[in-house]
Amino acid sequence: MNLIDNLISPQWRGTYTLFKKELFRFWRVAFQTVASPVLTSLLYLLIFSHVLENHVQVYKDVPYKAFLIPGLIMMSLLQNAFANSSSSLVQSKIMGSIVFVLLTPISYAQFFIAFLAAAIIRGFLVGFSIYFVAIWFVDLSIVHPLWIFVFALLGSALLGTFGIIAGIWSDKFDQMAAFQNFVIMPLTFLSGVFYSIHSLPPFWQAVSKFNPFFYMIDGFRYGFFGQSDISPWLSFVVVLSFLLGLAWLALKMLKSGYKLRA
């Protein structure tokens, strides 16, 4: 990273340093931040695929075990992108160490970029790790790699941004845990990680379409199988719209100094 340090212009060095610090922060506790979600996803894969393999066929010519993997990758990627920015912000607010960043010339937009980039990297790292472990057990095709990348990027950015909002808003770990347990977790589990929404009754199919996590996972899965519940272009538009909306809100909060600078 020394070479990169020298290549970055001084006005962006602060942003890069904050990004680097955020990377080191989660890497210092990689068992918790990377290895643990990989293990959890593999346990989901083991249990659900064992129980449901002979009972569920979602897409033609796609075994349930293979169907499950993109959903599990995306679920972990999203959860970890959210956890990275939210937990770092809440922790540094509670410890008081956020002041070290607030005293610097780093602008609100640079602050956003640094936290967002670190959240995306953690999401990708967890996602890649699950993929590389999972392909030892399952034969997994990749039909449209670009769609996989696009949805991984948009999804991790969306949840990283949501994590920034939650981290700024939360004053204690309990409030942040409420975001994780009462918003992120239900929305991911009810988004089609383990099933196709076509298997649901019409009412719940309609409800699922209000869940942005459904579009992220469905579009991501399209990249693997070339099949999805809805068009990947529609998913792309929905996810991008949510991302832009949340990014606008996060930047507005940071610019106003909400809960950071009174």
Partner 1 sequence: MDKKLTPAVKIEKIHKSFGQLHALNGIDLTIEQGEFFGLLGPNGAGKSTLINILAGLLKPTQGKVAIMGHDVVDNYQAARMSLGVVPQELVFDPFFNVREMLRFQAGYFGRGRENDAWVDEVIENLGLTDKAQTNMRKLSGGMKRRALIAQALVHKPPVIVLDEPTAGVDVELRQMLWAFIKKLNNDGHTIILTTHYLEEAETLCERVAMMKQGKIVALDTTSNLLSKLPGKNLRLTLGQASLPSTLLPMLKNGENGIFTLALTELNQIEFALSELRKANISVQDMQLIEADLEDVFMSLVGEKAGGEKSDVQIHLGDA
Asked if 10 is part of the footprint of partner 1 (rule: CB under 8 A), the reply reads yes
Q: By CB under 8 A, tell whether 16 contacts partner 1.
A: yes
CB of 163 to partner 1, least distance (A): 18
Least distance between partner 1 and beta carbon 107 (Å):
7
Candidate list 60, 96, 139, 146; residue touching partner 1; CB under 8 A: 96
Q: Does residue number 186 form part of the binding site for partner 1 (CB under 8 A)? A: no
Identify the helix (H) or strand (E) that includes residue 114.
helix 108-134
CA torsion 249→175→171→213, rounded to 10°?
-20
What stretch of H or E contains 2?
helix 2-7
Residue 51 touches partner 1, criterion: CB under 8 A: no
How many H-runs (helices) and E-runs (strands) does the chain carry? 13, 0
Q: Which is nearer to partner 1, 121 or 154 (CB)?
A: 121
C-alpha–C-alpha distance, residues 83 and 108, integer Å? 20
**107 is a site residue for partner 1 (CB under 8 A):** yes
CB-wise, 25 or 209, nearer to partner 1?
A: 25
Q: CB 11: neighbour CB atoms within 10 A?
A: 10
Question: At its nearest, how many Å lie between partner 1 and the CB of residue 260?
Answer: 9
Told to check if 17 binds partner 1 by CB under 8 A, we report: yes
Residues in the chain, total: 262
DSSP codes of every residue in 31-83:
IIIIIHHHHHHHHHHHHHHHHHTTT---STT--HHHHHHHHHHHHHHHHHHHH
Contact with partner 1 (CB under 8 A) among 104, 141, 181, 241: 104
Other beta carbons within 10 Å of 215 = 30
Angle at 116 between CA 168 and CA 39, to 5 degrees: 100
Give the shortest CB-114-to-partner 1 separation in angstroms: 10
Q: Which is nearer to partner 1, 15 or 79 (CB)?
A: 15
**Residues 124 to 163 in contact with partner 1, rule: CB under 8 A:** none
Contacts of partner 1 in 63-92 (CB under 8 A): 92
Give the interface with partner 1 as residue ranges (CB under 8 A): 2, 5-6, 8, 10-11, 13-14, 16-18, 20-21, 24-25, 28-29, 92, 95-97, 99-107, 257, 261-262
